[in-house]
Structure 1
Amino acid sequence: TFSAWAEIFGDPIAVAALVDRLVHHSEVLVLRGESYRLKGKGKEVLSDGDDR
């Protein structure tokens, strides 16, 4: 979600400006449910997120 971007980038004012420009004249789709790209993969993919 956009609310976590300030923690990731460290500058909430710059993030607000960036998000404003990204979503201006756009539609934000919130998708819920299981990820299609992870379908068929083992549960280890979901639990092993420390490699990034």
Structure 2
Amino acid sequence: GDVFGDQIVASAMIDRIVHHAEVLTLKGTSYRLKNSGLDSLPSTRPENTAE
């Protein structure tokens, strides 16, 4: 939303981009977060993911 200035436009563009794509979810520890003191990003923690 910040890039396009509108949440609806951003959502529509993302929807069109991933419509025919295969979305891969990577699990495991992140090399980028290795020395940050975090195990994972908040959005990937089990309590924040839908089943």
Question: TM-score under structure 1 normalisation?
Answer: 0.45
Identify, as 1 or 2, the structure richer in helix.
Answer: 1
